[in-house]
Amino acid sequence: MRHLAPFLGLLALASSSTCAQNTPSRLADTGITLRYTKTFGEDGDYAGSAPSFKDNGDGTVTDVLTGLLWQKADGGEMTWEKAQNYAKSLRLAGRQDWRLPTSMELFALTNQGMHGPAMDTSVFTRSEARYWWTNSTRADDAAKVWLVNSGGGIGAHAKTETVSAGGERPVHVRCVAGTSVTGTGPSLVDNPDGTVTDRRTGLTWQKLGPAKALTWEEALKYCDALKPSGHGPWRLPNIKELRSLSDDAKIRPSLDRKFFPEAKVANYWSSTTQSNRPGRAWLVEFETGLVTYADKTEAQFVIAVCGGVATAGPREKSEPDPKVLADTGKPGKDKSKKPKK
């Protein structure tokens, strides 16, 4: 709590906000249902729109939440240029409008409650892929393309890193058809009460967060202490919600400073624990929009969100499954190095 006192003045600003409580989110939930701390406010304390997929029996899968149609089995490893041509020429399930997905469309398929891969392989065919192509290049470098990885993160990598281009990363293609819900970035509205609403997701965001970085536990407490009158609750966003604020057309920061004038070129915490390493939590690096993770004891920046979820259930059922902790190591004790993103 040592960092929280200077920011209590922000509570009054937030108290006039009008977030729609329990409004269904247009973003799929992360798949995290366990709780990893006694501090209220983590991902597992809230229930968003559960991922829902329908296997159509014709080589395609429908995302029930977004209406998008996906390839059930990915198209294999290839260069980005070949992936683009592959999508244009794909004829599947009687459709010819297949394309490479945007970064947020593809990231929406991840399930952070699963590991190796962080994807529902009961509907999507498992492959040797470690990464999948998007149609989105990095704003400052067209030679780098956003890739969603099998661990549940997303980062921009050089096109030459895939095996077919002489690199070491197996980057595959999975095509999508249909109209995008999330587009390439948020569609923001500046509210008169110190908040910002994203019309694409329906979520409302704090315009100004704490000036200092907080540990993950402190971040949970800070957001939970924001008390909107009659609506809410304010909370630390899950990783899919947080990444939805990143605009692929912007860089350093990838947050829009027109709406978030104090946005930092820095890491921001999500409420989502890394399920196979409970001592870590997912974050977004808003220099570019990279999704990675850090030890929960590290200090990162914070922005609060409200809307789109309901509380998940009684707090007395909040302890994580001891079998999961036994398989993954005690929180905060993992000393392994971060893999390359």
pTM as predicted:
0.86
pLDDT of 5 above 50: no
> Which tens digits make up the pLDDT trace of 103-142?
999 999 999 999 889 999 999 999 999 999 999 999 999 9
Residue for token digits 């990885």? 149
Structure tokens at 62: 């429908």
Q: Are 300 and 139 in contact (CB under 8 A)?
A: no
CA distance 66 to 147: 20
Give the model's pLDDT for residue 312: 66
pLDDT of 337 above 50: no
Q: What is the average pLDDT value for the chain, to the nearest integer?
A: 85
> Which tens digits make up the pLDDT trace of 138-158?
999 999 999 999 999 999 999
Task: Report the largest interatomic distance among the alpha carbons of the chain, rounded to a whole angstrom.
Answer: 60
Strands 188-190, 195-198: parallel, antiparallel or unpaired by DSSP?
antiparallel
Give the model's pLDDT for residue 314: 54
Structure tokens at 336: 């392994």
In the chain, pLDDT over 70 holds for what percent of residues?
A: 82
Average pLDDT over residues 82-101: 97
Structure tokens at 145: 């393309």
- Report which secondary-structure segment, H or E, holds 135: strand 131-138
Pick the closest to residue 174 from 120, 219, 216 (CA basis). 120
- The domain segmentation of the chain, as residue ranges, is 5-50+183-328, 53-177
DSSP type of residue 159: G
Give the model's pLDDT for residue 227: 74
Name the more confident of 5 and 274: 274
Name the more confident of 98 and 4: 98
Give the model's pLDDT for residue 185: 83
Name the more confident of 329 and 72: 72
CA distance 14 to 206: 7
Average pLDDT over residues 90-115: 95
> Which tens digits make up the pLDDT trace of 12-40?
333 344 565 445 567 889 999 999 999 99
Average pLDDT over residues 69-90: 98
> Which tens digits make up the pLDDT trace of 176-226?
999 887 777 899 999 988 899 999 888 999 998 999 999 999 999 999 999
Helix (H, G, I), strand (E, B) or coil at 160: helix
Give the model's pLDDT for residue 326: 32
* 53-177: CATH architecture: Roll (3.10)
Give the model's pLDDT for residue 255: 96
CA distance 336 to 195: 39
Using pLDDT thresholds of 50, 70 and 90, give the confidence band for residue 61.
very high
Using pLDDT thresholds of 50, 70 and 90, give the confidence band for residue 310.
confident
